[in-house]
Chain A
């Protein structure tokens, strides 16, 4: 249980040269299971970070904490110098209320492994729903932006289709467009190609490469696609048992890993042929 009131940490300030995301001694437990164990890490604005590590090492949990789909058990998360897992109360911090989180989570977008498109809506409605009803974007403008985004992901002609009429790869590209429509500063990608047939993976990764090259959006990406991770990320974090086992430039992590755990993990991924 998070303490109801904790002393105010010296949080990083939202100024030039300061990190955008800070995990400060974050602990996440599910019952007796400790998934994240006093985790510390930072991400700079515009940085693209790839999270790798064995299944169950807590990668998804990190993204879900940032998407406010989970709450921290202990520790704090800061975004742009402001408390994200907590909210200011008096001179300290209290667990964030739902309305506080609602305001904060707009800066973050997420693409899920299972796409999670809304099947009762067309592709266009999937993309315009949040801009219209959350940002208050006028309908015409939201539609225009939806068609621009669909062009970006190569699905301009599918704007009036329903998700069920699309392949997995197409659905995932729509999901990427949907997340981008909210113009998030931080984009979270959780194994976005793992549920796809092998021949559809490249199309989705190409879209993400394009986004990485043409925008300065901060990305946290969980993936087993090592070639892609090497191309787009500035830094790779190797997780094991809820802690960072090793971190470094992708060339170093993939080319010259130092930790035994990283080496054996990378071997296992290569053996699986991903």
Chain B
């Protein structure tokens, strides 16, 4: 039986005549013991999905079962088996780390001594032992994030929700957080994590579900998604704007896919089926044509590329283009 099944979840937020479809018929399944990465841009509905599955928000329609419990009807029973680390570190700033963990442990219905012992273990595991008696106010963003994750683990949940666990962390803390998450996965927990970075979903998730405007628009392993996008891309930045046309022509000849051009940054990219060989070829031809370059390289597809290829629109902030109450213009479905 899957750990999570969601069918046709919808959630509409309305305020001042603006209607935002945060979830618009979202379907999802996550197998027990796997890591699902929910990937999407700002406003796609990631947090809303997590809030519904973690019993914090009742969907307008649709149903969801987590670990065999209905998220609406069986919410209280489900809460004993899940852990949630939200998008913003939710710990009490005026308590110390040790106090926060003890409190959450108690509220998770652990006996006091057990809660204290579990808190010590987690402080150790998350490298917070030295700071455990300092109030959280004095913590750095990375430390708060780690404490928040530790709080989510206090009751040894079978299923963990992590909403953008590394947003706002510097690269070093980010990799540290990845290690912590990998460690969790090794212990067999089921994990649903959201992220805006394909790279992160790639590094941590078994399966990636791409969410856009409240729907899952693609699902697969990182490799499957990338091959859908066309794998690696060659990317060049020409020095002079007047060379854009020539460079485009060269890239177009070397590549079977479509060339994208950003005139503002003088950047061109195209699928690089031929890998390094193709890159070398592009550089050679451009050099012969006398087109000076500022930058050149092969890069792996980003969330933007995945989006562009899946939806035909860039991964813009969905919140910036809410659907409104007014009748939609002809031809536009909302």
Whether both chains belong to one complex is answered with no
Which residues of A approach B to under 8 Å, CB–CB? none
